[in-house]
Amino acid sequence: MYRLVHIEDSKEDQICISQMLEQISADIEKTFSLTQYTSCESFFRETIPYSFDIAIFDIEMEGLNGIEAARQFREKDKSVIIIFVTSHAGKVFLSFSAEPFEYLVKPISYDHLKDTLERAINKIAAFQNKKFYFSFKGGFFSVPLERIVYFESIKRIIKIVTDTNTYYFYSKLDSIEKDFLFRDFIRCHQSFIVNPDYIRQIQKTDILLTTGDLLPISKGKQGKVKTQFMHYVGNISL
């Protein structure tokens, strides 16, 4: 299932997108979940980063416009595919900083939307193995591995700290460690797994991260942690 959010202040245009998406889903045999908002303000109030795979922003809206909203959302979510909808093609030049995937000019054609979503799906599929997926309290989330700073086990709950947010879900750290995706992540403590990309300095009993966080190193893991990190950065001369 591909999670799509549509921010559009025209109810008529919302209905149009919803109906076309239903037909596209049948035509390409892919499932979409669609969430719609009538303002960027309501979108930000109710949304956290990495909740969606594709975000469609109408550019012209009252209050916070689609371009500025997309820029702000891009700062928090580097992986989301952003698509702009506009009645004025000339405005697309103002939106490059949001790193948009495509522009749809109103009235939106079925074929253009279908082609755009198919290409977006192909892009998502290419990067799926570079994300960590988890569910919590009825929500389903995906976080790019490069955004994860560390995992922390707190009893039966795992805390994921990214460079912009913190998430929680039920699991065991041992299960995460065994996942092949985390062959580059380092288990430095019974309660912590760290992304080596965020390690600034390995001290005797602690790891200083680029975020300023300080993670403990278990006494029995001190040598192994240093070896793993030096191997990761390509310097095995300890």
User: How many separate helices (H) and strands (E) can be counted in the chain?
Assistant: 6, 15
The two three-digit tokens of residue 143, written as one number: 């976080």
CATH number of the domain at 145-232, please? 2.40.50.1020
Domain ranges of the chain: 2-130, 145-232
Task: Supply the CATH classification number for the domain 2-130.
Answer: 3.40.50.2300
pLDDT of residue 235: 42
Amino acid at 41: E
Tell me the torsion sign for CA atoms 227, 228, 233, 234. positive
Give Cα 192 to chain centroid, integer Å: 22
- The structure's pTM equals 0.60
Write out the chain's pLDDT in tens, 238 residues.
Answer: 899 999 999 999 999 999 999 999 999 999 999 999 999 999 999 887 777 889 999 999 989 999 999 999 988 887 789 999 988 766 665 667 778 899 999 999 999 999 999 999 998 877 666 788 898 888 888 888 888 999 999 988 999 999 888 999 999 998 888 764 455 789 999 999 999 889 999 988 999 999 999 999 999 898 889 888 876 765 433 3
Q: Are strands 54-58 and 2-7 parallel, antiparallel or unpaired?
A: parallel
For the chain, strand residue ranges (E) read 2-7, 32-37, 54-58, 81-86, 102-105, 131-136, 139-144, 148-154, 157-162, 166-170, 186-189, 192-194, 199-202, 206-209, 214-216
